[in-house]
Amino acid sequence: MSKKFFGTDGIRSRVGIEPVTPETVVKLGWAAGSVLSRNTKGRAKVVIGKDTRISGYLLESALEAGLSAAGVDISLIGPLPTPGIAYLTRTSRAAAGIVISASHNPFYDNGIKFFSPLGFKLDDEVELAIEEKMQQPIITADPQNLGKAVRFEDAAGRYIEYCKSTFPQRLSLNGVKIVIDCAHGAGYHVAPDVFEELGASVKAVGVEPNGFNINEGCGSTDLSLLKRTVLEQGADLGIALDGDGDRLMLVDANGDEINGDQMLYLIAMHRHTNDELDGGVMGTVMTNLSLEHAFKLSEIDFARSKVGDRYVLSGLQERGWLVGGETSGHIICLDKNTTGDGIIAALEVLRVMVCEEKSLSELVQPLSLYPQNMINVRLEDSSKFDPSSSPEINSAVDDAEQYLGSKGRVVLRASGTEPLIRVMVEAQESQMAQQVSQSLAETVENIAKSRI
């Protein structure tokens, strides 16, 4: 059975378009409550958190109704970063955690993702069981068995203290000047406090959510505000979260962007030097080739997964490793949290800066990234087109790889969260990467539009 609703990161679409509609979300809540409470002794409890989108109120109420109908109690957390929901799910012994968010997408999109009792993304088998249950009519629990909803007390405070606890007690951020951009998202009322309480001088932007401005001209997908503010403030670094706070991008004191590959490099190298890496490093097919070469020189094992933090996590669990991440800024440190966590990843970087007494630019200087050029080919419905099934596209990719030889590589994939075909070309020379990616993107667009 293939999935109808769940994608690589839960369920996501424009609000009002299936599956993110009130009717379907009520059914989803009931089905999820029924499936996730099967192995729970006594009454099951589910925690629900969200980001700051206006549609969060609608979807929260719909989920609450469905879960209550299944006889499941609900703890409402309100706006909190996704990794905070994962943390509170496992520490409160809940049957599951639910996050209402579309991450880095615009406000008019929204989505729903689930965490297991241990704070990990649900296994495919559980998602399939929920989808199967959704095909059945809702059977409401007897009135005396309906679930009730309560507010989760001091959720933000508990998560703030947990984040702080991951930073070594012997260290302090005194004297470090930070700009943090919370993307008007879920981290707006927690992230600045974490860094301030550890001693940093903090300038916060993107902390005035109104339901519509999440990720708009700010956050990890638009660093212009952060770069400008870092330079104006003379800060040591800038931290940009995305809308749900599970990933980040950095800016150094010069206003230069530091991406997930560079963060992964400095975190892993510092741990390796101090015998704390405990295994290898997990990247994705998009991870820069220079990172793989750097790890090889330091005799650090490296492996790649498909794009998506759930695949990075799966790769880490299979190998028993601790550290992995994506170019986009999802950094997973399994000894700190069970999922990507933007605040904790930033603290890992700051730990390296403080311990080594070096600036961010100095720390990443040894890693010379190969130029990558990414072109997103937007389609009406990418689910109706698989680029790997086209002989013409496969032939074009083969030609491009032969042309690049050992000096580069090609990655062609459908996005798991948006109607896009991503064409990425990496080469030692920027002009070569641009030329090849543009040619491939034109081929993909022409063939895809003729098939849809």
As a whole number of angstroms, the distance between CA 14 and CA 56 comes to 12
> Residue 10 and residue 101: Cα distance in Å, rounded?
10
> What is the rounded average pLDDT of the residues 406-426?
84
Determine, yes or no, domain membership for 410.
yes
One domain, residues 244 and 267: no
Nearest-CA neighbor of 342 among 155, 53, 80? 80
Domain boundary (153, 183, 207) is at 153
Alpha-carbon span 237 to 240, nearest angstrom: 10
Average pLDDT of the chain, as a whole number: 94
Catalytic residue among 68, 101, 103, 116: 103
Beta strands 177-181 and 237-241 are: parallel
The token pair at 308 is: 């998506």
Q: Tell me, yes or no, whether 174 and 145 share the same domain.
A: no
Q: Please give the structure tokens belonging to residue 187.
A: 């981290």
Write down the pLDDT at residue 173: 98
The pLDDT assigned to 42 comes to: 84
Strands of 201-205's sheet in order across: 201-205, 177-181, 237-241, 248-252, 257-258
Would you say residue 359 lies in a domain?
no
Tokens standing for residue 335: 């000894």
Q: Of 225, 241, 256, which residue sits at a domain end?
A: 256
Inform me whether the pLDDT recorded for 382 exceeds 60: no
Residue 350's nearest CA partner among 205, 250, 220 is 250
What CATH number is associated with residue 378?
3.30.310.50
- Evaluate whether residue 4 is within a structural domain: no
Neighbouring residues of 286: CB distance < 8 A, sequence distance ≥ 6: 307, 326, 327, 328, 411, 424
* Same domain, residue pair 141 and 214: no
Please count the other Cβ atoms lying within 10 Å of the Cβ belonging to residue 157: 11
Q: State how far the Cα of 181 lies from the Cα of 334, in Å rounded to an integer.
A: 25
* Domain assignment of residue 434, yes or no: yes
Tell me if residue 103 is catalytic: yes
Residues 110 and 177 in one domain: no
Q: What ranges make up the beta strands (E) of 285-407?
A: 302-305, 323-325, 331-333, 372-378
In this structure, the answer to whether residues 59 and 112 fall within a common structural domain is yes
Q: Range of 70's domain?
A: 11-153
> Does some domain include residue 356?
no
Same domain, 112 and 20: yes
Give the mean pLDDT of 321-338: 96
Tokens of 283: 């990247």
Place of tokens 């070594």: 168
209-244: per-residue pLDDT in tens? 999 999 999 999 999 999 999 999 999 999 999 999
Whose CA is closest to 309, among 372, 242, 371? 242
C-alpha dihedral (22, 24, 27, 32), degrees to nearest 10: -110
Q: What is the pLDDT of residues 177-204, one digit of tens each?
A: 999 999 999 999 999 999 999 999 999 9
The answer to whether the CB of 81 falls within 8 A of the CB of 343 is yes
Write the DSSP symbol of residue 392.
H
Residue range 238-297, pLDDT digits in tens: 999 999 999 999 999 999 999 999 999 999 999 999 999 999 999 999 899 899 989 999
Reported pTM: 0.90
Indicate whether 330 and 408 sit together in one domain. Answer: no
The Cα–Cα gap between 297 and 291 comes to 10
378: pLDDT confidence band, cut at 50, 70 and 90?
confident
For residue 191, is it within any domain? Answer: yes
Give the pairing of strands 96-100 and 109-115.
Answer: antiparallel
Please state, in angstroms and rounded to a whole number, the distance separating the CA atoms of residues 258 and 252.
Answer: 7
**292 lies in the same domain as 228:** no
Q: Are residues 164 and 136 in the same domain?
A: no
Q: What would the mean pLDDT of 416-433 be, rounded to a whole number?
A: 86
Residues 184 and 250 both lie in one domain: yes
Q: Which runs of consecutive H residues, i.e. helices, occur in 298-336?
A: 309-319
Helix, strand, or coil (residue 335): coil
Number of structural domains found in the chain: 4
In a domain, 360, yes or no: no
Residue 214 inside a domain? The answer is yes
Is 23 found in the same domain as 78? yes
pLDDT in tens, 144-180: 999 999 999 999 999 999 999 999 999 999 999 999 9
Q: Which of 55-69, 87-101, 389-403 has the lowest mean pLDDT?
A: 389-403
Q: How many residues does the chain have?
A: 452
Which CATH number is 77's domain given? 3.40.120.10
Q: What is the rounded distance in angstroms from the CA atom of residue 384 to the CA atom of residue 195?
A: 45
Claim to verify: residue 242 and residue 268 sit in the same structural domain: no
Q: HSE of 388 in the Cβ direction (CA atoms, 13 Å)?
A: 6
- Contact by Cβ (8 Å): 49, 115: no
Among the candidates 256, 278, 294, a domain finishes at: 256
